[in-house]
Chains A and B, each alone.
Chain A
Amino acid sequence: MHDTRKERYKKVAYYPGCALEGSGQPYDISTRAVGKKLGLELVDVKDWNCCGAMEVKNIDPEVQTYLSSRVMSQAKHKNKADVVMAPCNGCYHNLKKAEHDIAQKPKSKEVVEKISAKAGHEAYQPGEIETIHALDWIKWGFGEEELKAKIKGGLKGLKIANYYGCMYTRPRHIFPEKGKGGDSESLTKPHYMDDLLAVAGAENVDFPLKTACCGGAHTLSDSDMSTKLVLNILEAAEAAGAEVIATECPTCHSGLEMHQIRALKRLSKDTNVKVIYFTQLLGLAMGLSPRKVGLNANVSQSIPLLKAKGIV
């Protein structure tokens, strides 16, 4: 299993999605930089479209399924790929969900086939593509032992709370490979990000809100609730002794940055924990410059902290 995955993940179709081209640019920059450094090849999915994010399903769930299925169909037929890597939790979640629904729900399959035919492309068939997260890609495509060899100064002395968000493990139905014990990712206490950052020298704190929700679905439409939820996460991370929250989702990341400011302005609650994408942290640990991993494009200003720690 190990070696097969290593081979399979060496070159994957890359699906950045709308967020990584917009507000999540630092995640895109750092993912590409880390891939290059590790010698893993990324080829963008040709003419990709939005996966539907968290919104389209509320207007029409089958359209969401179609949108995600089209991305996989493009990867399969245009890129000739069999693995799609999506760093965004939302994209990753939706592709997995489409896979599940097309296989399990006759209506989903019917709608996907109907719209695909009208749109003039092959309808995606279950099992044609394996969708993985950036965490799987680095953990299995490269491996912890080899990663260790690439670490330059590392993240020594940096206390990190690893925040996975809600879409990486939930709901359980659409992640059949998780929660199987052994090397598999856990549904309730995910650890892949912890594993990778530990190899990079970080000190992972015991963080109870790893899979808590940041309220990202309503970040603008119900801002007060989102601010409260984000504040819970920031305060819990600080209470656990973290200096940095490592993120793996552009929605969580932007939400944490935005509501950290909003909590200060609206509730006078100041929190000092910095928000950084895990790929940025890995890149820094491997000796890439802050600019190379897009650190200056983060809203959360972490460079003074990282300088004080001697990391940059």
Chain B
Amino acid sequence: MPIHEKSLIRPENLETHENLVIDGIDVSGDWSTFIRSRVVTDYNEDLQDEIAALPGGEYIHRCWQCGSCTNSCTVNAENPDFNPRYWIYLIRMGMESELVRDKDIIWQCVSCNKCTSACPRDVVPEGVMKATAHWLEMKGYTEKTNSTVFDEIFTGQVVERGKIEDGEVLMEFLKETKQPLMQDWLVQLVKQMVAGFPVFALLKMGMATVFKPKTSDWSKARDAIKSHIEEEKADARKALGLEPAE
């Protein structure tokens, strides 16, 4: 089935009649189900440009819709609704409202890069998925996803100190996403770790949570990175026609 017909056969676009007579002929039963005629008027002509303006989305214009990305996709194998080819198609067509229907799963790309390796046109679909997920957040269609929360905590630590401490990332993430620390599997994991861990390794990990690992002579790099990120964010908001961030 060509993908542009996919949306037409959704339940809300179907019309069913119990009893239907057309031109004197009784067409009740299977023949009484019709696809409502539809005119699309809500194009966002700038959608492709908006995605292309975000990091990762710059090569979306190259897509020829061959489907190699979806065909190779790790997440698609688990959930057929996760469909990079379809979303790239919608973006290039400017069909914003159709794209937004899938707002809750687009962020689930696991960045395994099978799509990017398979793509014969170097679209970098992995980048497009990330750009689209950010576009949804910036436009206010979705709350900040768990994935973004994690990325921000991680990046925050790297920018601040040059290195991360993984225990701290884990704790901060659970706290930020309001998840309990005492999850059955996490407790089991820690139990198994502590059971075999040599004392020096435990000590080393414990010390790391107190004295955070840090790259020496990092402060100038930190300031330069921070100001670069701010500039890029402002540019992205401008490209999406959004007000400057406060």
Contacts and interface: CB of A to CB of B under 8 A. Distances in A.
Given A55-B154, A225-B108, A115 B147 contact: no
Interface string B207-246: 0100001011110110111001100100000000000000
B173 A55 contact: no
A296 B197 contact: yes
B158 A50 contact: yes
Nearest to A70: B221
B188 A265 contact: yes
Interface in A167-214: 167, 169-173, 187, 212-213
A66 B232 CA distance: 14
Nearest to B134: A58
A297 interface: yes
A215 B74 CA distance: 9
Interface stretch (B12-20, B22-30, B110-118): B110-118
A151 interface: no
Interface stretch (B3-11, B41-49, B90-98, B159-167): B159-167
Nearest to A24: B166
Interface residues of B, number: 69
A47 B218 CA distance: 9
Given A115-B224, A118-B220, 12 more contacts: A18-B213, A54-B111, A55-B150, A56-B155, A115-B228, A169-B117, A170-B114, A220-B174, A221-B173, A226-B110, A228-B78, A258-B185
17 contacts: A18-B163, A21-B163, A49-B158, A55-B155, A55-B158, A56-B151, A56-B154, A58-B151, A213-B114, A217-B110, A218-B108, A221-B145, A229-B110, A258-B185, A261-B192, A296-B196, A297-B201
A22 B208 contact: yes
B117 A187 contact: yes
A119 interface: yes
A166 interface: yes
Contacts, number: 189
Given A49-B163, A261-B192, A61 B112 contact: no
Majority-rule SS of B interface residues: helix
A114 B74 contact: no
B228 A22 contact: no
B100 interface: no
Contacts of B145: 221
Chain B CB within 10 Å — which of A54, A169, A213 has the most? A213
Contacts of A212: 74, 112
B180 interface: no
Contacts of B155: 55-56, 59-60, 63
